[in-house]
């Protein structure tokens, strides 16, 4: 592939040898989440819808998100070309633990008024669990903000599939 792209004749072994002769060594590349074109277009449309808003317009918006955090670097292999003298440089070393080190999932709310509740999730986020979070955490929090600031609040989540379960969708629109 490199020969076809570069227009330089030669087999893979010749090209690898040429790269090595410059002092580079081969390492695996990092992984990146791929966003499908239709999802990218939907994100751009959403952003453009609110592009004319200024900071004051977000006074009554509350955002939520969840994240799964590895306690240590997950066990993926990372390869990159580097100078061999840098092989033990801390930049290229990945922490390692027996049994992978585990992970923690957290879910939280935030707004211009500051952070809201932060929950630790034991398993994966599913529709029924999200419904409990809406009933026990989100709705009471939005009601307390409305009382404190004298206005209703807009709740924004990231549109993940557990958030779109029918029961959760109707619960949010009934509030």
Give mean pLDDT, residues 75-93. 72
Q: What letter does residue 82 receive in the DSSP assignment?
A: B
Count other Cβ atoms within 10 Å, centred on residue 155. Answer: 18
The answer, as to whether pTM is greater than 0.85, is no
- 107-111, 145-149, 171-175: least confidently modelled range: 171-175
pLDDT at 143 over 90: yes
Q: How far, in Å, are 35, 46, 96, 141, 169 from residue 153 at the CA level?
A: 30, 19, 44, 10, 17
Query: What is d(CA 25, CA 112) in angstroms, rounded to the nearest whole number?
Result: 47
pLDDT at 71 over 70: no
Query: What is d(CA 110, CA 61) in angstroms, rounded to the nearest whole number?
Result: 9
Instruction: Report the percentage of the chain scoring pLDDT > 90.
Output: 28
């Amino acid at each position: 592939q490199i020969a076809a792209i570069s227009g330089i004749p030669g087999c893979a072994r010749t090209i690898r040898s040429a790269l090595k002769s410059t002092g580079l060594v081969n390492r695996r590349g990092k992984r990146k989440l791929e966003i499908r074109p239709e999802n990218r277009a939907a994100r751009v449309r959403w952003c453009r819808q609110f592009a004319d808003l200024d900071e004051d317009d977000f006074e009554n918006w509350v955002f939520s998100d969840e994240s799964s955090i590895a306690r240590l670097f997950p066990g993926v292999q990372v390869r990159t070309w580097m100078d061999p003298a840098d092989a033990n440089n801390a930049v290229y070393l990945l922490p390692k633990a027996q049994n992978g080190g585990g992970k923690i999932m957290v879910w939280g709310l935030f707004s211009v008024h500051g952070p809201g509740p932060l929950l630790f999730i034991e398993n994966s986020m599913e529709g029924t669990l999200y419904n409990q979070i809406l009933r026990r955490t989100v709705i009471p929090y939005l009601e307390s903000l409305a009382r404190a600031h004298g206005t209703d609040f807009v709740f924004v989540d990231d549109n993940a599939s557990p958030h779109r379960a029918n029961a959760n969708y109707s619960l949010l629109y009934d509030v």
